[in-house]
Structure 1
C-alpha cells in the first residue's frame, strides 16, 4: 500500500478499516430490523419502534462507511485485528440502542405491563437500561457470549428484547465477522484475514467462505435439534403451556449451544429445578465447546471415533470428568451427596464450556468450589468452537512446551528434537513458535485477570471476598456469565465499565485489542 494513498480524502488504511466495520454495522442493522418484526408480532409496538430507530441509525452510519470507502484495498493482518477489535466494540455500542431507546420510549406504566402476573416485584427490569452504561454492558455481554446481565428479572422484559439478547449470543457465538464473511462472499485473502482476526484459524474447506457457510449450517442444524429436545423436556417437567415451552426452549437452545448463557427466566436454569432439563442441557453445552471441524468430520464420516481422535475433544471429556469429580468432593462439605453431584456436574460443564447457565447458588459455595470453577472458566473449551477462555489447545501446548524445554537439558546441542501436538509433528523451531504464542497470550490473559480481580475486590461491598471478585472477573473475561452476585445494576460504575472491557478482551483473546490500542496512540503504520 503506497504511503499517502487516500480514498475519498481518507488514508487508505483507515478507509479499509471503516469499510469493513461499516459492513459489520449493516449486518447488525438487518438483525435489528428482523427483531423489530418480533416486537410487532408480540404487539410490542413501542419496542418495535425502538428497534426500527436503532436499525435506521446503525444502517445509516454503517452503510455510509461501506459505500464511501468501497474502493479501499483488501485488509492486511494489521487491519484485520483493528477491524475485529473496533468492530466488536462498535457492534456492542450500537447493539445497546434497542435497550436504551426502549427504556426511554416506554413510560414506567407501559414497562410495568410486562411484569408477569403474580410476580413478587412490580417494576420492569427495562428501567435499568435507561442508563447507557447498563445498556452497553448488556449488549457487550450478549455479543461476546458472556451472559452476565443487568436485567435483574428477565421475564419482566419485552419479548422482543429477550429475543435480541438470545440472537446476539447466537450470532456472537460463531462470530459477527464470520457471519459477515459468509454473506459478503469476498474472494481472495481479505476474507481469510478477517476470519483469522476473530481468533479463528481452522478450515473445513480450502475456501474460507465455504468454511463459514458450513459452520453456520452445522450450527443451525444443532440449534433445531436442541430446541426440539428442550421443548420435550419442558413439556414433561414443567406446567407450561406449549407456546411458552416453545418460547423458552428456543431461547435457551440458542444461548446454550452458543455457550452464551442468557436466560428468559428469573433465576437462569435454577428456575426449573429440573434434573431432566439440566440433563438435556449438558450435551447441548458440550456440543458448543467442541471445534466445528470435528463436528463436520463426525457428521461427514458418521463416526463418533472422530471425537476421541481429536486432541482437544479428548481432553475436553477428560477435564469434564475430572473436574466434576473434584468439584463434587469439594461441595460435599456444603451440600448433600446427591445435590452436590447434580450441581457440580451442571456447573462445571457450564463453566468449562463457558456457557454460564446457573442452577446452583454459587455465592453460597466455599472458596475452594469457586476457585475450581474459576479455573474451568479461565481455561475454556476447544479452540474453533463457540467458547471463551484461554482454550484447551493453549493449555496443552504450554504443558508440553514445559516438558519439552526440560527434556532438551539432557540432550546434546546437536541433537535433532521434535515433538507432537495432536497429529502435527513439530521441529525445534516450530515448537518454540507454538509454545511462545500460547505462553504470551495466556500470560497476558492471566495478568489482565489478576489486575481486574484486584480492582474489583476494592470496589465491592464487605459481603464479597477476593474469591468472589476473582470468580466474577474470570466469568466476564472467559465470556461465561456465572455470577456470585456481584454483577447487577447497583454495582460501582467503574467496576461495571471494567467488566465490559474484560468481556471485550476475552472474546478477542487480547492481541487484537492491544493492536487496536496501539493504533489509537501511534497510528496504523509503524
Structure 2
C-alpha cells in the first residue's frame, strides 16, 4: 500500500490548495492596506480603522497558511480548479470584512454625515452591511464582476467603501488569480495551471507570467484613458466640482472597463441623463468585452485588421447591431413605452445602451428596466446569458461557445449527406479542426452551455416562487441571468429586503457564473470525495 504524502500532517493535495488560496487571501490584504490610505485622504477615520482591522485579519490568515504549507507540491490541473473555486469563495468571504467592520465601527451620528445634503432618504446604506450575508453578497458581487448590490443608495456610502467596491471589481475583472500569478508566481511553479483553471486559455507570450503582466499593462493603460474621457463627459454634463467629477469618473472607469457595473450614483448611469456620458461609456464597456490577445495585437502591430479578423469580435459587433435594433423595435411597440422611458421618447438611445451593457456584462443601467415589457426583458436576458468574448473580463456563456455550437450543429447535419469515409474539416476562427477536434470542441461548448442553462432555469423557478406576487417569471429569469452572467442589471428584485433564500442562491449563481461551472463541480466533488480519481 502506497503511503500518502503529507505536509505538516495535512494531505499533500489539501496543503497545496490551502497554500495557494492563502496567497490569494494575502494579496487581498495588500488591497485593504491601500484602501486605508483612501479612507485617510477623505478623513474617514472609523472606516480607515475598519480596513486596518480587516487587512490585519486577512494578512494573518493568508501569511500563516502560506508559511505552514510552503513545502507543498506545485499544483496540477486537479488542484488548479479547486484552488480557483475555493480562492474566489475565500476572496469574497474576506472581502466582506471591510463592509461589516465599517458598518459596526462607524457611529450613527457619523454615518448620517455620509448622506448627501438634500437627499430624500435619511440613512446611509452602510447600515445594511451589519448583516454579514449582505456584506458577503456585496463582496461576491464585486469580486465576480456582477454588480448587483445591497447598497440601496450608493452616494450615502463612505468614499473608502465606494472605492473598495470599485477596486474589487477592477481587480476581479481580470482575475484575482491572474493578478497573483503575475506578482507571486515563479517560472515553472505551476502558474499556468492556475491561469488555465480560471478559464483563461489565451496566451500572448510563451511565459504565462509575462502574459499576465502584459494583460495588466494594457488594462491599466485603458483605465487611465477611460478616467480622462469620463471626467470630461461628466464635468460637461453635470454641475459637479472638478474633484467630484473626477471621483465619479475614476469609479465608473474602473467598473466600466472591468465590466462590473458598480456605481457611485443613486440610479447608476440614469442619474446623469446624459447622452454624452452614455456615448463615452459604450467604447469603454466594449473594450472590456474584447479578448485581451486582440488588444495586444492591435496595440503592438497597429493593425486594425486584427480586430475584425477575430471571430468573437466580429460577432460581438454584429450582435450589438442586431440587439439594439430588436430591443428598440420591442420597446417602440410596447404600450407602456412612454412611462417606461420616463417620457424622454428615446427608444434607440436607451435600447442601445442597455443591450451593450448587457452583452458586455457590465450592468450599467440607463433606463428603468423594471417597467419594461416581458419581451424587452427577455431580449436583455439573452444578451446577459450569452456575454462577450472569452479571454476578456465578461461573464456569460461566451460568444465563442455559441459560435462553436452553431458550427457544430451545421457540421453534424452536413455529415448526414456525405459518405462515412468523407473528411470534413471545420474552421473555427483561425483554426482548422478535424473530426476529433471538432467533436471535442463541440462537446465542451455544449456541456458547459447546457449546465449553465439548466442552473439558470432551475434558479429562476425558485426565484419566481419566493420573490413575491409583484414579480413575473420574466423578472425572475432576468434577475437570475444577471446574477449568473455577472452583469448587475436588476428588475427590482435584488436588495436588502429580498428573501434570504434568493440572496443565498444568488451567491451561488454569481460564483458559478464567474468560474463557468466546471471548477465549482470539481470543488464540490473534491470536498465530498477528495482529489483521487
Instruction: Give the aligned partner of residue 423 of structure 1.
Output: 430
Instruction: Give the aligned partner of residue 315 of structure 2.
Output: 315
Instruction: Give the aligned partner of residue 395 of structure 2.
Output: 388
Describe the SS at the equivalent of 2:262: coil
Instruction: Give the aligned partner of residue 260 of structure 2.
Output: 260
Q: Could you give the per-residue CA deviations for residues 417-472 of structure 1, whole angstroms, max 9, x where no partner exists?
A: 21100010000000000000000000000000001000000011111000000000
- Give the Cα separation in 2 of the matches to 1:3 and 1:417: 49
Instruction: Give the aligned partner of residue 25 of structure 2.
Output: 25
Matched, 1:269 2:269: yes
Unpaired segments of 5 or more residues in structure 2?
Answer: 339-343
- Give the Cα separation in 1 of the matches to 2:122 and 2:108: 10
Q: Could you give the per-residue CA deviations for residues 248-294 of structure 1, whole angstroms, max 9, x where no partner exists?
A: 00000000000000000000000000000000000000000000000
Q: Could you give the per-residue CA deviations for residues 73-104 of structure 1, whole angstroms, max 9, x where no partner exists?
A: 11000100000001000100000000001111
Instruction: Give the aligned partner of residue 510 of structure 1.
Output: 517
Instruction: Give the aligned partner of residue 161 of structure 1.
Output: 161
- Give the Cα separation in 2 of the matches to 1:267 and 1:108: 25
Please list, as runs of the form range in 1=range in 2, the aligned pairs for 1:218-233 lying within 5 A after superposition.
218-233=218-233
Instruction: Give the aligned partner of residue 178 of structure 1.
Output: 178
Instruction: Give the aligned partner of residue 436 of structure 1.
Output: 443
1:524 offset after TM fit, Å? 1.7
Instruction: Give the aligned partner of residue 83 of structure 1.
Output: 83
- Give the Cα separation in 2 of the matches to 1:494 and 1:524: 30
Unpaired segments of 5 or more residues in structure 1?
Answer: none
Matched, 1:414 2:418: no
1:333 offset after TM fit, Å? 2.2
- Give the Cα separation in 1 of the matches to 2:185 and 2:131: 38
Instruction: Give the aligned partner of residue 41 of structure 2.
Output: 41
Select 2:374's aligned residue among 363, 367, 379. 367
Select 1:457's aligned residue among 457, 464, 478. 464
- Give the Cα separation in 2 of the matches to 1:403 and 1:309: 21
Please list, as runs of the form range in 1=range in 2, the aligned pairs for 1:52-63 lying within 5 A after superposition.
52-63=52-63
Instruction: Give the aligned partner of residue 294 of structure 2.
Output: 294
Describe the SS at the equivalent of 1:425: strand
Instruction: Give the aligned partner of residue 341 of structure 2.
Output: none
Instruction: Give the aligned partner of residue 347 of structure 2.
Output: 340
1:108 offset after TM fit, Å? 1.9
- Give the Cα separation in 2 of the matches to 1:36 and 1:9: 37
Please list, as runs of the form range in 1=range in 2, the aligned pairs for 1:118-197 lying within 5 A after superposition.
118-188=118-188, 190-197=190-197
Name whichever of 252-261 and 61-70 sits farther off. Answer: 61-70
- Give the Cα separation in 1 of the matches to 2:97 and 2:380: 33
Q: Could you give the per-residue CA deviations for residues 191-220 of structure 1, whole angstroms, max 9, x where no partner exists?
A: 000001111000000000000000000000
- Give the Cα separation in 2 of the matches to 1:9 and 1:186: 26
Instruction: Give the aligned partner of residue 477 of structure 1.
Output: 484
Select 1:379's aligned residue among 377, 381, 386. 386
Describe the SS at the equivalent of 1:437: helix
- Give the Cα separation in 2 of the matches to 1:404 and 1:369: 33
1:189 offset after TM fit, Å? 5.6
- Give the Cα separation in 1 of the matches to 2:76 and 2:12: 12
- Give the Cα separation in 2 of the matches to 1:268 and 1:27: 29
1:415 offset after TM fit, Å? 1.2
1:322 offset after TM fit, Å? 0.5
1:9 offset after TM fit, Å? 1.1
1:416 offset after TM fit, Å? 1.4
- Give the Cα separation in 1 of the matches to 2:331 and 2:172: 33
- Give the Cα separation in 1 of the matches to 2:332 and 2:283: 25
1:185 offset after TM fit, Å? 3.1
Matched, 1:102 2:102: yes
- Give the Cα separation in 1 of the matches to 2:473 and 2:125: 28
1:3 offset after TM fit, Å? 4.8
- Give the Cα separation in 2 of the matches to 1:154 and 1:197: 34
- Give the Cα separation in 2 of the matches to 1:32 and 1:504: 22
- Give the Cα separation in 2 of the matches to 1:177 and 1:283: 26
Please list, as runs of the form range in 1=range in 2, the aligned pairs for 1:486-525 lying within 5 A after superposition.
486-525=493-532
- Give the Cα separation in 2 of the matches to 1:218 and 1:155: 30
Matched, 1:71 2:78: no
Describe the SS at the equivalent of 2:488: coil
Instruction: Give the aligned partner of residue 211 of structure 1.
Output: 211
- Give the Cα separation in 1 of the matches to 2:113 and 2:421: 77
- Give the Cα separation in 2 of the matches to 1:524 and 1:90: 19
Describe the SS at the equivalent of 1:458: helix
1:235 offset after TM fit, Å? 1.3
Describe the SS at the equivalent of 2:186: coil
- Give the Cα separation in 1 of the matches to 2:333 and 2:434: 48
Describe the SS at the equivalent of 2:190: helix
- Give the Cα separation in 1 of the matches to 2:275 and 2:422: 56
1:404 offset after TM fit, Å? 0.4
- Give the Cα separation in 2 of the matches to 1:315 and 1:106: 49
- Give the Cα separation in 2 of the matches to 1:217 and 1:489: 37
1:406 offset after TM fit, Å? 0.7
